[in-house]
Structure 1
Amino acid sequence: MDVRFLVTASLRDALTFWLPVACAGCGALDAEVCEGCRRALVPRPVRRVLAPDLTVTSALPFAGPTARVVRALKEEGRTPLARALAPALREVLRGAPPDALITTVPSTRAALRRRGYRPVELILRRAGYRDRRLLRLRRTPLDQRGLDRDARRRNVGGAFVAGPVAGIPVVLVDDVVTTGATLLEGARALREAGAATVVAVTVAHTPRHGGLGGESEVIDT
């Protein structure tokens, strides 16, 4: 484990002892995630078709408490929040083929240096799954925030390369899907490496405002 992560976690634990914890979802004191916000994290899976050969199943809408909890995990170093998000991810991974390899969208080196941990991998581990780290960055794309769908696809096009997965199904995991450009690029790299099939799952999906193509389907659980 990264030494910086251990140091950061120790400092955070020390501060937590002296300072009150506030709910990441609403700011209520004395809980990482209060009961009300935990109810907002109960999965409501939605499946979307990103391309004829790729679907993504997302557990939660990226709004309200969910969005605030995800941001606090990613940008504020609040790693215990991975446990609160893990049940939602576990729910959408239930349908994965038993012989599938599970891998995450890789973090950039700059993001890993800044945080000291990989948020998606952390949630996956808390959900009881192992990240096989099949994908790596061939080049570092720009930050996707603020880019439209076409610009996002150009930005990540050719960014990933995958290790050999000949004839094996793969489940690709990310935290949030917006336009689907990153997942489509990851799936392309995995298929190029020989994956038998690729499906995607995410903790959350952004509300559709013309960003994601295809029809959505609410999944009964």
Structure 2
Amino acid sequence: MALPPWPTLAGLLPLEWLILPAAVEATAAPAAISGLIPMPWWAAGRYEGALRARLLGLRRELRPQRLEPLVAVIATVLRELAADRPAAARPLLVPIPSWKRRANPLPPLVAQLLARELDWPRGQILERSHPVLGQHRLNRELRWANQQDAFRSLMQAHQDRRGRRPVLLVDDILTTGATACSAAMALRQAGWRPLGLACLARTPSPPPQKKAVI
């Protein structure tokens, strides 16, 4: 399996990222989707149609009750993922922080609802190291460059009693994975063990471009 051509990020992916999700896809809830590239990820659906409209609406007007059904879908998959783990070894849910003054409210709320649904711990052990450009108008390569070294861990894993737990990042939307991989790299450099990303939606891959016939 070929990893994306960004060795400064992809080179830090732990081996268990390539092993752990294999059993998850077979047990996923019907509405859930998952994948391995650029890291293991689990989502409630694709970022299109009604789900896209709902998430855009939630960013404008936060209504947790409209979010709960989506969180329940993700929780079903994650519950299976950690079914054989003792309570003390279940993942720490870490929302990816925003760099904007008016922060995106969805990642911390999703982490809060997942923690309540699964009875897993959550914590904010990440912060932005510097502002970045808005990602909307950037292509894939520029997104990865934009997020390079954009995060830092608030503490070393050995300094926190939760440091023995694996970490599951939480965000609202996964597009190229540049943000999530940069966040995971910062945690891994501080001794934490990122397992992947839980999110509300995965942006569909663009259709392959047809070559011009000359």
Query: TM-score with structure 1 length normalisation?
Result: 0.66
Q: 1:111 to 1:88 in 2, by over 3 A?
A: farther
Q: Tell me the CA shift for residue 197 of structure 1.
A: 4.0
Deviation readout 1:178-216 (Å, 9 max, x if unpaired) = 1111111011011011013432121110111169xxxxx
Deviation readout 1:114-134 (Å, 9 max, x if unpaired) = x7xx21211232231553011
Check whether the contact 2:126–2:183 (CA below 8 A) recurs between aligned residues: yes
Does the alignment pair 1:182 with 2:179?
Answer: yes
Matched residues in 2 for 1:210 and 1:181: separation?
20
Matched residues in 2 for 1:178 and 1:168: separation?
27
Unaligned segments of structure 1, at least 5 residues: 1-41, 212-221
Partner of residue 49, structure 1? 36
Check whether the contact 2:94–2:111 (CA below 8 A) recurs between aligned residues: no
Q: Tell me the CA shift for residue 85 of structure 1.
A: 2.6
Greater helix share, structure number = 2
**Partner-residue secondary structure (3-state), 1:191:** helix
Equivalent residue in structure 1 for 2:151, among 141, 152, 160: 160
Q: Tell me the CA shift for residue 86 of structure 1.
A: 2.0
Check whether the contact 1:178–1:205 (CA below 8 A) recurs between aligned residues: yes
Matched residues in 1 for 2:45 and 2:77: separation?
10
Identity among equivalent positions (%) equals 27
Taking the TM superposition and a 5 Å limit, the aligned residue runs for 1:85-100 are 85-94=70-79, 95-96=81-82, 98=87, 99=89, 100=91
- List 4+ stretches of structure 1 deviating above 6 A: none
Amino acid at match of 2:134: D
Amino acid at match of 2:169: L
Q: Tell me the CA shift for residue 46 of structure 1.
A: 2.4
Does the alignment pair 1:64 with 2:56?
Answer: no
Taking the TM superposition and a 5 Å limit, the aligned residue runs for 1:94-109 are 94=79, 95-96=81-82, 98=87, 99=89, 100-109=91-100
Unaligned segments of structure 2, at least 5 residues: 1-28, 159-163, 209-214
Paired residue total: 164
Amino acid at match of 2:170: V
Q: 1:60 to 1:123 in 2, by over 3 A?
A: same
